[in-house]
Amino acid sequence: MKKSTHIKLTCLFVLATALVKAQNVTNVKLTNPDDAPIISKHIYGHFAEHLGRCIYGGFYVGEDSDIPNTNGVRNDVIKALKELKVPNLRWPGGCFADTYHWRDGIGPKEDRPEMVNRWWGGVTEDNSFGTHDFLNLCEVLEAEPYLAANVGSSTVQEFTEYIQYVTHPDGSPMADLRKKNGREKPWSIGFWGVGNEMWGCGGNMTPEYYANIYRQYATFMSDWTNSHGMYRVASGANVADYHWTEVLMREIPKSLIEGVALHSYSFVTWSKKGSATGFNEAQYFSTMETALKMDELIKKHTEIMDKYDPEHKVDLIVDEWGGWYEVEEGTNPGFLYQQNTMRDAMIAGTTLNIFNNWAHRVKMANLAQTINVLQAVILTEDEKMLLTPTYHVMKMYNVHHDAKLLPVEFESPKYEFEGKSLPSISISASKDKNNVVHISLVNIDASKENTVELDVEALGFKKAEGQILVSKKLQDHNTFDNPKNIVPELFKDFKIKKGKLSVTLPPFSVVVLESK
């Protein structure tokens, strides 16, 4: 071969390699419009239902427990949730809410009646964790209470007396009862859910019937503290039931509603959810397919809301979301106890990015659930406790709380599997009150790394530091014997040059970058 030919071929090879590499880089445009919405911290809310070992054995071990506690609530749980900066906590359900009668959970614990939890395992509960316990816990956590009130098996009178009990300052029968039970001042209640899943366990109602029931209950709701007004959330649609949202938005006067809910879970298939840890790539791909559908759900429900509420007076509240799999072997099927892997980190990262990017309409969301149930952030076993990959993602992302959204535009590369494809990259960004920029990135591809290049020159992004959550296998998880198998690490695989931030994301990883 002639020398000149060899040089030409070498040059062509180098050029081809450079072109391929360029094609593998995803270019991302960040903007900073003056009218961009604030990402509400309440998007990062949590959910604590009387289900399995979420309350009893999770949060609450009782005042006499050998496990260190404050008024019966585990100290290690309190510490972990305070570090997570939990903005709001939803209680007591879920399906449990529409069978719960609040008077059973007040007064001396030894005098409280027992009840059967008909929805979750048929176990008998002693009501030792009630309203005072929950609202006092929220004060300790500095979290807004989100009370899901009983509409399915209660009355308007019982509901309004509950509101009076917790919020009326004095001079009323319910305020006097609260004081008798040891609480002088009323609590400040952030949010009220007017029933739960009224299309299912809340009563199998039609949307037309529930809309009228809602109007009745909402009419009699009064916030006696007058601290920030009554925030009423209607029981919203199940996944893609757009007719439900249509009816509620059409039939409920805007003077009676502040939020409408949406519930959607991620799974392999509803009938065969598969193992939380023993899944294959096909099951992983299917789960991520349902998780990423959240963007479409919000878009279509929002379009309906915009038609009836162009001024955006009513918020979309995704108060149940997360991964749902088969329970761990040997556990009560009614307790919904499952492990938490890097797959769940992918669900958390992508879903939170979706919520952030819909911040103009999504104002609150609640991961299901906090401890020992579904996609939990904490697992407990007697005196032991561990933090899950989902916990670490939510903690990495809490930099977005109440920060201004920086909209992103890009065309994601594809994660391809068996002839199907999904967008592999998910991104959201914000600027906080100190003008610090945070960018959260997720690569869901099970085997390929992806490089993204962000134009950050206009944002004054000169230096950065980062964290990454990643592991060797999608099935990796934390155990009580190895609780720090998966933890955030320092991330350095990025560079900033001439206003361009180039980031290389390993397979199934979550990265958060901060400007310096």
Within this chain, do residues 30 and 151 fall inside the same structural domain, yes or no? no
What pLDDT does 224 receive?
Answer: 67
Any domain includes 17: no
Evaluate if residue 13 carries a pLDDT over 90: no
If you average pLDDT over every residue of the chain, what do you get? 94
3-class SS of residue 18 = helix
pLDDT tier, 18 (very low <50, low <70, confident <90, very high otherwise): very low
Any domain includes 221: yes
Within this chain, do residues 132 and 210 fall inside the same structural domain, yes or no? yes
What pLDDT does 9 receive?
Answer: 41
What pLDDT does 11 receive?
Answer: 44
* Mean pLDDT confidence for 32-54: 97
What pLDDT does 14 receive?
Answer: 41
- 229 versus 424: which is more confidently predicted? 424
Q: For 241-293, what is each residue's pLDDT tens digit? A: 999 999 999 999 999 999 999 999 999 999 899 999 999 999 999 999 999 99
How far CA 235 is from CA of 24, 187, 192, 265, 366, in Å, comes to: 44, 23, 11, 16, 14
Q: Which residue, of 369, 402, 435, is where some domain finishes?
A: 402
Within this chain, do residues 382 and 500 fall inside the same structural domain, yes or no? no
Within this chain, do residues 396 and 411 fall inside the same structural domain, yes or no? no
What pLDDT does 12 receive?
Answer: 42
Evaluate if residue 23 carries a pLDDT over 70: no
Q: For 173-184, what is each residue's pLDDT tens digit? A: 999 999 999 999
Cα–Cα dist 488/499, whole Å: 27
Q: For 337-383, what is each residue's pLDDT tens digit? A: 999 999 999 999 999 999 999 999 999 999 999 999 999 999 999 99
> Which of the following is catalytic: 49, 125, 144, 320?
320
Within this chain, do residues 220 and 108 fall inside the same structural domain, yes or no? yes
Within this chain, do residues 368 and 500 fall inside the same structural domain, yes or no? no
Let me know: does 58 contact 110? Beta carbons within 8 Å: no
Within this chain, do residues 67 and 195 fall inside the same structural domain, yes or no? yes
- 433 versus 19: which is more confidently predicted? 433
Domain count, the chain: 2
Q: Residue 20: exposed, middle, or buried by beta-carbon count in 10 A (0-12, 13-18, 19+)?
A: exposed
How far CA 211 is from CA of 105, 129, 161, 477, in Å, comes to: 29, 32, 22, 43
How far CA 416 is from CA of 176, 323, 448, in Å, comes to: 63, 21, 10
Cα–Cα dist 155/153, whole Å: 7
Q: Identify the CATH number of the domain in which residue 113 sits.
A: 3.20.20.80
Let me know: does 159 contact 115? Beta carbons within 8 Å: no
Any domain includes 14: no
Q: What does the DSSP 8-state code read for residue 52?
A: T
Any domain includes 8: no
Within this chain, do residues 286 and 421 fall inside the same structural domain, yes or no? no
Q: Computed from CA positions of residues 357, 358, 364, 367, in that sequence, does the dihedral angle turn out positive or negative?
A: negative
Q: Identify the CATH number of the domain in which residue 412 sits.
A: 2.60.40.1180
Q: Give the helix/strand (H/E) hosting 320.
A: strand 315-323
Q: Residue 139: exposed, middle, or buried by beta-carbon count in 10 A (0-12, 13-18, 19+)?
A: exposed
Cα–Cα dist 147/131, whole Å: 9
Within this chain, do residues 468 and 341 fall inside the same structural domain, yes or no? no
Q: Give the helix/strand (H/E) hosting 427.
A: strand 425-431
* Mean pLDDT confidence for 378-406: 98
3-class SS of residue 492 = coil
3-class SS of residue 205 = coil
Q: Computed from CA positions of residues 444, 450, 455, 457, in that sequence, does the dihedral angle turn out positive or negative?
A: positive
Within this chain, do residues 326 and 441 fall inside the same structural domain, yes or no? no
Within this chain, do residues 370 and 451 fall inside the same structural domain, yes or no? no
What pLDDT does 461 receive?
Answer: 84
pLDDT tier, 228 (very low <50, low <70, confident <90, very high otherwise): low
Within this chain, do residues 46 and 159 fall inside the same structural domain, yes or no? yes
pLDDT tier, 492 (very low <50, low <70, confident <90, very high otherwise): very high
Q: Give the helix/strand (H/E) hosting 9.
A: helix 3-23
- 205 versus 188: which is more confidently predicted? 205
Any domain includes 2: no
> Which of the following is catalytic: 125, 197, 258, 453?
197
Evaluate if residue 3 carries a pLDDT over 60: no
Q: Computed from CA positions of residues 109, 111, 112, 113, in that sequence, does the dihedral angle turn out positive or negative?
A: positive
Q: What percent of the chain has pLDDT over 70?
A: 95
Q: Which residue, of 402, 437, 471, is where some domain finishes?
A: 402
* Mean pLDDT confidence for 51-62: 97
Any domain includes 9: no
Q: Which residue, of 378, 402, 426, is where some domain finishes?
A: 402
Any domain includes 206: yes
* Mean pLDDT confidence for 69-95: 98
**Over 267-313, what HEC string results?**
CCCCCCCCCCCCCCHHHHHHHHHHHHHHHHHHHHHHHHHHHHCCCCC
197 tagged catalytic: yes
Structural domain containing residue 397: 40-402
* Mean pLDDT confidence for 402-416: 97
Any domain includes 475: yes
What pLDDT does 222 receive?
Answer: 82
320 tagged catalytic: yes
3-class SS of residue 124 = strand
